Amino acid sequence: MEFGYLATFLLVFTRITAFMAVFPIFALSGMPVLAKIGLGFILALVVTPVVGTVEPDSSFGYALDVAGEVLVGLAIGLTAGMVFYALRIGGQLMGMTMGFAVAELLDPTGVRNNVVAEFMFLLGLIFFFSIDGHHAVISALTKSFEVIPLTGGAATGSAALLVARCIGGIFSTALQLAAPVLAVMLAVDLSLGLMVRMVPQINVFMLGFPLKVTAGLLVLAGLLPAAGAVLGRLFEQMAGDVLILMRGLT
DSSP 176-227: HHHHHHHHHHHHHHHHHHHHHHH-TTS-HHHHHHHHHHHHHHHHHHHHHHHH
Kindly list the domain boundaries of the chain, sorted by start residue.
Answer: 2-248
Provide the CA 50 distance to its chain's centre, in angstroms. 29
**pLDDT tens digits, residue range 190-243?**
888 888 788 777 777 777 778 888 888 888 888 888 888 888 888 888 878 777
Q: What is the structure's pLDDT at 103?
A: 61
**Dihedral angle at the C-alpha atoms of 141, 143, 148, 153, nearest 10 degrees?**
0
**pLDDT tens digits, residue range 13-71?**
888 888 888 888 877 767 777 888 888 888 888 888 877 777 777 777 788 888 888 88
**pLDDT tens digits, residue range 106-164?**
555 554 567 888 888 888 888 888 888 888 888 888 888 887 877 766 666 667 777 77
- In angstroms, rounded to a whole number, what is the distance separating the alpha carbons of residues 21 and 42? 16
Q: What is the structure's pLDDT at 155?
A: 64
C-alpha to C-alpha distances, 243 to 116, 215, 236, 239, 250, nearest whole angstrom: 31, 40, 11, 6, 12
